[in-house]
Each structure stands twice: as structure tokens, then as C-alpha cells.
Amino acid sequence: MIENMEWYRAFYEVAQTGSFSKAAEKMYITQPAVSHAIKQLEFRLGGALFFRSSRGVKLTAEGEVLLRFVSQAHHFLENGEKKIAEMRKLMAGEVKIGAGDTLCRYYLLPHLESFHKLYPDIKIQVTNRTTRETIALLKEGRIDFGIVNLPIEEKQVHVRESMTLHDCFLVSEDRFARAERALTWEELVQLPLLMLEKGSSIRRHADDYAQRQGVLLQPEIELGSIELIVQFTRIGLGIGCVIREFIQDELSGGSLYELPVEPPLPPRRVGLVTLRDVPLSAAAQRLLELLP
């Protein structure tokens, strides 16, 4: 094992300058300290590394061999310092994010586009998982931060609340006339419902709230994405359970509209989650700062 890296640095500087005094100047230490470091290294390796000549100190055969390896190590360290500096300046690096399909598509993607334009050399890796799976990836250290549906209860995780989401029910004018009043939950469950598959936070939120209203949601069709629910609703296959903030274009288009239900589903929040007491890379920190 390497006992002291400073011995090797002293060896490298003496070999480069051919002088103990010049090496001491470059290292900002005294010449006796350099001499002591070389003696310690020679004792450790079991032989002389330098010999004195009329032109200063020269490497022995063993010293020449050692210099080849120490030079490589020195260059590796220099490159490492340069890479760290580039990462700090956001000229290099990687950000690993965990997020569900819906939050990735509607919440994260627009901000990723802006981030990529500002910092094109930063690599971005996105892992699509449910909120629970995203938290697990975060605790395993496999992602830098996660974008999840709140609430969550995790002592190891720091949560920054972001935008508010409103789940609602979407209908097509082609099949359903505009409601003159809000439907009750008892009336709603009699209609053909289009919902996300079980396991998603949206579905769990709707199911739990419906149970508190004394009814059970039994969808006609279960789908894997908000986009599919919108498309199925548009052709009149049922009532879609969607997120209002993510379907503004569809609502403003006029062919789809929100079906009021009383009481409405309570709002939810998006959360940005990081591990407590674990520092983020400069790139991950900057992307978090850009997210609302």
C-alpha cells in the first residue's frame, strides 16, 4: 500500500526539475523536507532512486522505472482535477432522475429541454418508475433525485413541494351532453370509467377517495398512460380520469370537457425528493433549481 502520496510527489518534482531545491519551491516546502521524503521513499522501496552529478541529481535505473508509473499517475490526477472543474462549470457530468411516466412527460420534459439547451454536455438519464419504486432507487443511490406524487413518509428523504395537481373526469361531447349539475359519486360509478392501471399514484388517490365517499371505482377500461385515456375518451369509450393541469390543450380545443363531480377529488402535490445529508452534483443541483 502507498504510505504517503507526498513522497511520490516529491520524487516526481525532483525528477522533473533535477533539483531538490527547485522541487521544494514548487511544493512550497523546505529542501530538507524534500530530502526526507525521498529518503523515506527509497527506504520503503529498498534502493536509491537518485544519484548526484555535476549537473544536479539524476535518476537511477530503478528511478527511471518508477518515474514512468508516477508520471502516469500524475497525469491521471491532473485529468481528474480537470474533469471535476468541468463538472463544476457544468461542462461535463451526468444527472440521474427517477420519475413516473406521467410526471416525466408533462412535468419534467419541458424543463429538460431548457436544461439541455443551456448545458448540452451534461448527460441525462431518466428512469421511469412508480413513486414507491423511485423512492427505493433514491435510497439505493441509483438516482440523484426523484419526481414523485405526494404525500410520502420517508425519514431518509428530503421533500421539496412543487406544483399542485387536480385530478378530474374528462368526457367527450360526442357521447355525453354537458352536465347541468355536478354528478354525485354514486352517479359517477354507474358510468363507464377509463382509468390508469392499479399501482399508479393517480389511480390509488382516486380509489382511496371514492372509498371515503362510500363507493367503489370499477373502471370499464384500464390503461397505461394519460395520453391513451384522452384518446379513448375522445372517441367516446367512456369517462377518463386525468390530471387537469396536463390536459389544458385538450380542454381548450372544445371537443373534450371536464365533468364536474361533487365533492371533487382533493388536490395533490408533486414532490422533488433527494436523500438527506447527501450532497448533489453541480449538474443535479442546477437542474433542481430550474424545476418549479
Give all domains of the chain, ordered by start, each with its CATH number: 5-88 (1.10.10.10), 94-164+270-290 (3.40.190.10), 167-266 (3.40.190.10)
Over residues 145-155, mean pLDDT: 92
Give the least confident one: 70-84, 204-218, 239-253. Answer: 70-84
Cell of 237: 369509450
Among candidates 253, 262, 265, which has minimal Cα distance to 173?
A: 253
* Reported confidence tier of residue 157, pLDDT bands at 50, 70, 90: very high
Rounded to an integer, the average pLDDT of 88-97 is 87
* pLDDT number for residue 137: 94
pLDDT (mean) for 112-116:
93
- pLDDT exceeds cutoff 60 at 235: yes
Closest to 249 measured CA to CA, from 195, 177, 170, 181: 170
Mean pLDDT on 253-271: 91
Residue 1: what pLDDT?
A: 58
Q: Is the peptide bond before 151 cis (omega within 30 degrees of 0)?
A: yes
Average pLDDT of the residues in 122-130: 93
Interatomic CA distance for residues 196 and 185, integer angstroms:
18
pLDDT of residue 253: 80
Question: How many residues are listed for the chain in this entry?
Answer: 292
> In whole numbers, what is the pLDDT of the chain averaged over residues?
91
